[in-house]
Amino acid sequence: MFIVLEGIDGTGKSTQTRMLAEWLREQGREVVTSREPTDGPWGKKLRESASTGRLSPEDELEYFLKDRRQHVDELIRPSLDAGKVVILDRYYFSTMAYQGARGFDPAEIRRRNEEFAPVPDHLLILDLDVDSAIERIGGRGDTTNEFEKRDALQKCRDIFLSLTDEPFVHVIDTHGDLDEVQQQIQEAISGTV
């Protein structure tokens, strides 16, 4: 099973990914968790750009595609082929949202990714209004980086919410506490675990 958690910054993706992985392991499943951008060479360049200044839109998109292709080849596909549950904190839907906010066509980004990247069984969009997300980013001791500006986050949220016409997409309201959010996630994937 392949599960992806998406949403704008501050929605709790990393925490919910960890909680979901623990729950699935308690069910006896072998779970692999990962994130994008990865810690590989292309992912590191992308992570650095969040604090040192964003790359050109074209370079940024190209780095995401290269990072994802390596991730699919080296971790995602082999883990799925071995029968493991793969849970990702961000995937190509984030590229659609964040690069879409920079002017690229989200549908074209999706098409390019789906030429090589498997579609998840479950896409969990963790949703939160932008003001609350920015407040959470500040509350964790961070300052907003180049990917977390208010107008850009709103455009990203709008793109994420435009994906809800797919049967594998579940929108999870993250205004509640961590356990309430995790309960929604578990309910969304129940029956497939």
Alpha helices in the chain (DSSP H): 13-26, 41-52, 57-71, 77-81, 92-100, 106-114, 130-139, 150-161, 178-189
> Per the structure block, which two tokens stand in for 159?
């793109």
Choose between 98 and 193: higher pLDDT.
98
**Whole-prediction pTM:** 0.91
Structure tokens at 167: 């049967």
Q: Is 126 helix (H, G, I), strand (E, B) or coil?
A: strand
- Residue 4 gets which letter from DSSP? E
pLDDT at position 61: 94
Binding-site residues sit at 7-14
Q: Which CATH number fits domain 2-189: 3.40.50.300, 3.90.1150.10, 3.40.190.10, 3.30.70.3270?
A: 3.40.50.300
Q: Please say if the pLDDT value at position 92 is more than 60.
A: yes
> Quick one: average pLDDT of 86-91?
98
List CB contacts of 22: < 8 A, sequence separation 6 or more.
none
Dist. CA 7–CA 153, nearest whole Å: 10
> 14-44, pLDDT tens digit by residue?
999 999 999 999 999 999 999 999 999 999 9
Q: Which residue did the predictor score with more confidence, 167 or 139?
A: 167
Mean pLDDT of the chain: 91
Pairwise CA distance, residues 29 & 24, whole Å = 6
Q: Residue 109's closest CA among 171, 48, 168, 65? A: 65
- Phi, psi at 11, each rounded to 5°: -90, -10
Binding site feature residues for ATP: 7-14
CA distances from 40 to 26, 47, 61, 173 (A): 30, 10, 16, 31
**Residue 143: per-residue pLDDT:** 53
- Predicted pLDDT of residue 146: 46
Residue % of the chain over a pLDDT of 70: 94
